[in-house]
Structure 1
Amino acid sequence: MTPKELDIAFQNAVNSINNHVEPFPADVLLKLYAYYKHATNDQNSPSSSNPLINAFKTNALFQAQGLTPLEAKQKYIETVHQYFLYRK
């Protein structure tokens, strides 16, 4: 997959998550959060008003550290596909 194709697939995966109305399992959300942050080079710290949520987000980011933006995009896409595949 070319970088442009990966960008398009990533944006489609992000849109499918943003348009989904049912709640997601927390573990899936945390993975998606970490992959998205790495894929977009978002350096902002977790900003929830709940310290426990911030701790979980920080842990997810820690687990995904070392991924390149391209690898993070691919992981995000794979996680989205797996989630929707297993929901059926």
Structure 2
Amino acid sequence: MKSDLDIAFKEAFDKVSKLQEAVAPDVMLKFYAYYKKATSGKVFSYDNKSNIRSAFKVNARMQIKDMSSKKAKEEYIKLANTILTNK
């Protein structure tokens, strides 16, 4: 059975995924990092792609490497609510 947090996280993800307007790249990186941490929680490895996009993704995940999956879900929901309220 899914927790209330899991349900709220899924709802926030679905709403953010359907946004029609562009979201600032730095905010999208936060969403990416929180989502990855919330859903995999694993330590990640750099995929050896030498492009700027991959480097930014790695950096975003490194910034929250010590965050728990639960906290990542909470932060994702909080950020989604902020973005969705302002749209």
- TM-score scaled by structure 1? 0.83
Q: Distance in 1 between matches of 2:50 and 2:21?
A: 22
Give me the identity figure in percent: 35
Unaligned runs of 5+ in 1: none
Q: Distance in 2 between matches of 1:45 and 1:21?
A: 31
Partner in structure 2 of residue 86 of structure 1:
86
Deviation, 1:85, is: 2.0
String of CA shifts for 1:31-73, please: whole Å, max 9, x gaps: 00000000001656577x7710111111100111111111100
Q: How many pairs are equivalent? A: 84
Partner in structure 2 of residue 28 of structure 1:
27
Partner in structure 2 of residue 52 of structure 1:
52
Cα pair distance change 1:36/1:85, threshold 3 Å: same
Deviation, 1:82, is: 1.0
- TM-score scaled by structure 2? 0.84
Unaligned runs of 5+ in 2: none
Partner in structure 2 of residue 76 of structure 1:
76
Moved over 2 A (4+): 42-47
Matched-pair contact (CA < 8 Å) for 1:38–1:69: yes
Please provide the CA RMSD for this pair. Answer: 2.0
